[in-house]
Structure 1
């Protein structure tokens, strides 16, 4: 019995770790993108967090402008994100995200509609 429980635990742990690792922001290799900068991925994160927090149905469309700076041990991303609502109408939002690339430490600091 103990050996079956141990095998099940190892399999569960391997599946859990593999699933968790895929959620991290990972730097692409072989590209000219600076390490830790992924505006489209950060934009999707911002739209998802905002939508969950405000109980809205926004869908990420694109990032049209982004600026990246080192800030307090992490990276600060300021960008303009275009998102579509449930009816398909698009709008632009000023977004500010702070995070540490390669970790799960990410925060949405600002998500304001641009008039």
Structure 2
């Protein structure tokens, strides 16, 4: 685990817990975007990694304002993720994820509450 400007991130390179999650994104065969680039999967990944890193218990609700662009041999995704806490209260988070679609190389770079 490393810290970048006060924001911690980890590299999820293998299945975290049996049956819980895998960092390899697989898209439906009829997808109209490149494999591994669906904002829904990236948003779920961000919440999962944040929960594992911080011991939080957020639940993924949705994603909006998704943007992606090539960055250092992979793709950098910036989006707003909505997540709910244990009481059901929702909040929005600015999320930045870098990864290489179709691989296990993914990093959560930023997960910051915006409201």
TM-score (norm: length of structure 1): 0.76
In structure 2, the residue matched to 1:96 is: 96
Equivalence map 1:9-88=2 (5 Å): 23=22, 24-88=24-88
Give 1:86 deviation, angstroms: 0.5
**In structure 1, what is the Cα distance between the partners aligned to 2:38 and 2:102?**
12
Higher relative contact order (CA 8 A, sep 6+): 2
Give 1:37 deviation, angstroms: 1.4
**In structure 2, what is the Cα distance between the partners aligned to 1:72 and 1:78?**
15
**In structure 1, what is the Cα distance between the partners aligned to 2:33 and 2:112?**
26
Q: Please tell me whether Structure 1 or Structure 2 has the larger radius of gyration of its CA atoms.
A: 1
Stretches (4+) displaced over 2 A: 26-31, 33-36
The size of the alignment, in residue pairs, is 96
Q: Could you list the runs of 5+ residues in structure 1 that have no partner in the other structure?
A: 1-18
Root-mean-square deviation (CA, aligned residues, Å) is 1.9
**In structure 2, what is the Cα distance between the partners aligned to 1:36 and 1:57?**
25
